[in-house]
Structure formats: C-alpha cells, structure tokens
Amino acid sequence: MLMRTAYFGAAIDAFLEADEASILGTLVRHHGFALEHEQRGAWVAQIRLLKQALSLHARGHVLFEFAIPRMGKRADVVLLLDGLIFVLEFKVGARHFDRSAIEQAYDYALDLKNFHKGSHALPIVPIVVATEARFTDAPCVLYAADGVAAPVCIRIEQLSDLIDQIQSVHEAFDKTFDVKAWLQSGYQPTPTIIQAAQALYQNHAVEEIARSDAGAQNLSQTTDCISTIIDRSKSFGRKSICFVTGVPGAGKTLAGLNIATKRAQEHSDEHAIFLSGNGPLVTVLREALARDEADRIGTSKAAAHRKVSSFIQNIHHFRDEALANPGAPHEKVAVFDEAQRAWTRDQASKFMQTKRGHVGFSMSEPEFLISVMDRHNDWCTVVCLIGGGQEINTGEAGLAEWLAALKSRFSSWDIYISDRLQEGNYATDNRSPELLDELPVHRSNELHLSVSMRSFRAEALSSFIGHVVDNRAQAAQAEYRQLQGRYPIWLTRDLETARRWLRNTARGSERYGLVASSGPIGCVQKVCTSKPKWMQPHGF
C-alpha cells in the first residue's frame, strides 16, 4: 500500500537500516519518467541527510515523494511520528529560503489537511530544508486554528531538535497511530471546504450568468432535468448516466459547473464534482472562482483556491486516485466535461502501462470511469457533456466508447440522452447510432442546449469595437453607453500610452497584455483576471 501513495515508504527504523542504493532504486523504479541527474542527486542527498537526522527517532514512518490525493502534487518527504505530520520540502545546495519553496511547503501541508481524510484532525508542520543556509536560532512553531503550522525554515541538522520540541508540546500525541489506515484513508475534502464550495455561486445563479430569456431558460431547464435524474436515482437506488449536448457557446461547461455547485449547495452528502481533462480550463476555472470567492468574503485567494479545488478537478488526477484506491470514490455525482475526448482502449492501455506502470490495463477511459462510479453499492449519477461539431483526435474515443461500455458491462444502468445525440455532430462514428438503437435509453429535449450565449455576452463590446474601427462615432457612442461602468475601456493611438495605462490600472497580482488587430487600424484592450464574473464576455 505504501508504494501506491509514495515512491518509497517504510518505518523509520527500517529506513535507517536499508541500503542507500536500494532506497534510491525504489524511488527510480516508481518515478515512471525520464530521470534527470539533478533529481537523482537530490534523492541521494535527502536519503543521507534524513538517515543522520532521524537516527534518534526510530518510531514513525518516512514517505518519499508522497502523492497528495487528487491534487497532482508530490511532497518531497512526509514524516509520520505518533500522530504528527511533518511535510519536508528539500532545497539541496540552497543557501537561502526562497519564497516559492516556503509557499510550496505550505501548500502541501494545507492540501493534506483539506483533501486527505486521515490528516483532517492531525497537526501538520511544513518544513523547508535549505542544506547550505546559515544556522538560525531554534524556530518558533505557530499553529493556525486548523492545526497547520506556519512554515518552518531550518537546516537538516536542526530537524531532530525541532521534532523533539514539537512532540514535547503535543504531550497527548498518539503512540498507537496507524499509518496503514492513514494511507488508506484517501481523498475526502474537509467539511469546511464543502461548506465553502456551497457558497461559491451564491451570487451567480443561472439567471445572473445568462440573460433572462431563451438562453437562461434553456440552461435552467437542462439543470432542472439533470437534478430530477439525480433525485430519482437517489430515491430508487439506481445508477444513471446522462448525455448532455449543446450548440457551440451554449454553455455546456457552465451547465456542468452549475450542476456540481447546485448539488453541493442543496445536497452536501453527494459531494458532486466537475471533472475535465483540459488542464488549462481547470486552472482558469479555479482561478476565476477563487478570485471571486476571495473578493466576496474577504478570505485570502490561496484559501479560496483550495476550497474551489475540492469540486473542480483534473480528470486524470481523479483517474489515478481511483487506480490507487479500489474503494468507491467520495463523490456520488460526477460531471465529465468534453466527454467525447476520453481515450480509447488502445490509447488508455498504452499510457497506463508505459507511463503509470499498470501492466495489463485494458480498458478505455469511458469504461474505467464508469467502473469507478459503479463501485458504489447503492446509487450514483454520471453526467457526460458532449460537444458537437468537433474533430475527434487520434486516441480520443468519441461517444461510441461510452455506449459500448454501457452495453457490455453496465447494462443495468439507466441511460438518459439528449434527443439530438444521434445527429452527426455528436455521433461522429458509425457505431454510435447503432448502439443508441440497441440500448434502452430515455430521450429528452431538455438535455440539449440549443441557444448560444457566447455571442450575447460579448455582443455589445464587439459591436463597440467594430464601430470604432470603422469610424462610426455616433454608433460607437451609443454602444459605449451600454458598456460604461462594466468594462475598463481607454482609446488611444499611442502604444506607449496604452502600455502605461495598463500598468497603472492593474492591481495586486493582476496579469495584463495587449491584443491588436492585424490591420492598419488597431484596437487595444485590457485583458486581466481581476474580479472574474461569468457575465463578462468570453476571453475577459
């Protein structure tokens, strides 16, 4: 079990007795990627330094490259000492404690506290070890209310005394601490994070996100239809899957986010989650919602980001966690964005065997993902968002793999589909129409988003820019009156003036840049990520 969550894990006494080369070999074997000389050297140094530092602390366990569940991160070293958790970030050869290392160690500790079930109630101390830094006085360890200490910066020679100091404070630490149970506890967000996620969209109801006409009505109807399916599945102990289609710009991703947040708000026991294989999208969504949360309630953006991360995740991290832990996932409702881009059996098998070391893996990604949710003994609901009119790239499964998996292995599941799913925009291969005819499906026009909202959100701004470029002053003035107060706009013919305005207007950690037309007459816009609101036009 240790090897599933860490590249190397052992009781400290066994670690102290183990041969250095044997430990290094285990780390290299579980790494799974091309090993750089620098990483190899860092591991050698960490092993030697820890053997010296832990010589007086035989109780406990040491874990190298510990994977924080679902977060796609690995801490250099985690020490488990009688119910105390030490998270070590090594900077071999470093003479200074740089800010990025301190923040990294802190993030690891907070992620463990917030996302790893076994760590919820335990004190956690993040430590940065700079091997060539100057010696300092014994650090003072200060804990926050959640039991996570502020980062401690030390040389490795100070680690033993630091452990003694912390253990002396925690007189009632658990000498019967079960490391195996801790490792097996896996991913589960803390209740405080779920509560925070419930509040994320309190000012972003569908009616506010979209205009109050066909777009909002269509989105609301789809959300209500999926909620009804979830409620029915829950009431009758059924497992269900529904396929949602939509025209470009209709808001499929928005519908999926709305489902995840609405269910979290009204049914916290379901632990709904939004999953996407689009890494940049996950990053942007988390950043947008975190900034919004921080702005509304006055919390730090880092804290808000951790809360958002509990229900918006990279699907590959979800998959890897499910491979490591054979039990049912924490979530009862899972929304898969761009589900048609899940991998085929050949692509998934090749990746899992060569990159993850799972010899014999022979499932498509749709089959595996359904099988993970199927581990629940009672009920669950999977929502697949299917994009139309998009090219399916090599290795991507399309709709057919989902349908084939349902037919061959999960025939007892209830299947709900959009009444447009059989159209060529969505059923892009020859197998899908035939499989849809063979499967017992429930069709609904409410699972199709037919009204595009993308152009509306940018409509007034696009019109204004067009009028400016075409020198239609009166029309531009009329459009500007609709935009005034919503978007920061500055007109100039001088590029340096535009740059200066951007620098002076940006606040805090905002990022900004220039976008110009390719023609002789240009229009420069401010692009930033401050106070993101879904009402703003696409791209802002």
Structure tokens at 188: 């589960």
* 155 and 222 part of one domain: no
Query: For position 274, which CATH number holds?
Result: 3.40.50
Model confidence at 531, pLDDT cuts 50, 70, 90, reads very low
* 417 and 509 part of one domain: no
Per-residue model confidence as pLDDT tens digits over 265-318: 788 889 899 998 888 778 877 877 777 777 777 888 888 888 788 888 899 889
Model confidence at 537, pLDDT cuts 50, 70, 90, reads very low
* 111 and 6 part of one domain: yes
Residue 139 belongs to some domain of the structure: yes
The answer to whether 256 and 263 have CB atoms below 8 angstroms apart is no
Asked whether the predicted pLDDT for residue 199 surpasses 80, the reply is: no
Asked whether the predicted pLDDT for residue 381 surpasses 90, the reply is: yes
Asked whether the predicted pLDDT for residue 229 surpasses 90, the reply is: yes
* 329 and 373 part of one domain: yes
**pTM for this structure?**
0.61
What's the CA gap between 242 and 319, in Å, rounded?
A: 20
Residue 190 belongs to some domain of the structure: no
Residue 199 belongs to some domain of the structure: yes
Tell me the CA distances in angstroms from 298 to 204, 292, 304, one per residue in order: 17, 10, 10
Per-residue pLDDT at 139: 80
Asked whether the predicted pLDDT for residue 100 surpasses 90, the reply is: no
For 225-234, what is the mean pLDDT? 95
Q: What is the DSSP string of 219-233?
A: HHHHHHHHHHHHHHH
* 140 and 263 part of one domain: no
- Domain residues for 266? 195-449
The last residue of one of the domains, among 158, 184, 210, is 184
Look at 525 and 247; give whichever has higher pLDDT.
247
The last residue of one of the domains, among 184, 209, 235, is 184
Burial 20-55 (b: 16+ CB within 10 A, else e): eeebbebbeeeeeeeeeeeeeebbbebbebbbebbe
Look at 58 and 48; give whichever has higher pLDDT.
48
* 169 and 313 part of one domain: no
* 295 and 398 part of one domain: yes
* 215 and 175 part of one domain: no
Asked whether the predicted pLDDT for residue 524 surpasses 90, the reply is: no
Per-residue model confidence as pLDDT tens digits over 447-474: 988 765 544 444 566 667 777 877 888 9
* 361 and 502 part of one domain: no
Asked whether the predicted pLDDT for residue 341 surpasses 50, the reply is: yes
The answer to whether 368 and 330 have CB atoms below 8 angstroms apart is no
Please list the alpha-helical segments (H only) found in 185-278.
191-199, 206-209, 214-236, 252-266
Per mean pLDDT, which of 32-36, 147-151, 421-425, 488-492 is the most reliable? 147-151
Asked whether the predicted pLDDT for residue 192 surpasses 60, the reply is: no
* 374 and 421 part of one domain: yes
Helix (H, G, I), strand (E, B) or coil at 68: strand
Residue 189 belongs to some domain of the structure: no
For 43-65, what is the mean pLDDT? 90
* 393 and 517 part of one domain: no
- The closest alpha carbon to 349, from 368, 334, 328, belongs to 368
Flag the least confident range among 169-173, 207-211, 320-324, 350-354: 207-211
For 101-120, what is the mean pLDDT? 88
Look at 34 and 106; give whichever has higher pLDDT.
106
What's the CA gap between 220 and 206, in Å, rounded?
A: 7
- The closest alpha carbon to 50, from 101, 92, 83, 84, belongs to 92
For the sheet with 124-130, list strands across it: 6-11, 61-68, 73-81, 84-91, 124-130, 152-154
Asked whether the predicted pLDDT for residue 415 surpasses 80, the reply is: yes
Residue 385 belongs to some domain of the structure: yes
- The closest alpha carbon to 46, from 111, 5, 93, belongs to 93
Model confidence at 371, pLDDT cuts 50, 70, 90, reads very high
Look at 307 and 496; give whichever has higher pLDDT.
496
Tell me the CA distances in angstroms from 394 to 64, 279, 337, 351, one per residue in order: 36, 18, 18, 14
Per mean pLDDT, which of 157-166, 305-314, 352-361, 511-520 is the most reliable? 157-166
Per mean pLDDT, which of 9-18, 31-40, 303-312 is the most reliable? 9-18
- The closest alpha carbon to 150, from 102, 101, 194, 205, belongs to 102
The last residue of one of the domains, among 399, 428, 449, is 449
How many domains does one find in the chain? Answer: 3
Rg (CA), the chain: 26
* 225 and 360 part of one domain: yes
Asked whether the predicted pLDDT for residue 146 surpasses 50, the reply is: yes
**What percent of the chain clears pLDDT 70, i.e. is strictly above it?**
81
What's the CA gap between 133 and 94, in Å, rounded?
A: 6
Please enumerate in sequence order all residues whose Cβ is within 8 A of that of 408, keeping only pairs 6 or more positions apart, or say none.
none
φ/ψ of residue 383, rounded to 5:
-115, 120
Per-residue pLDDT at 219: 76
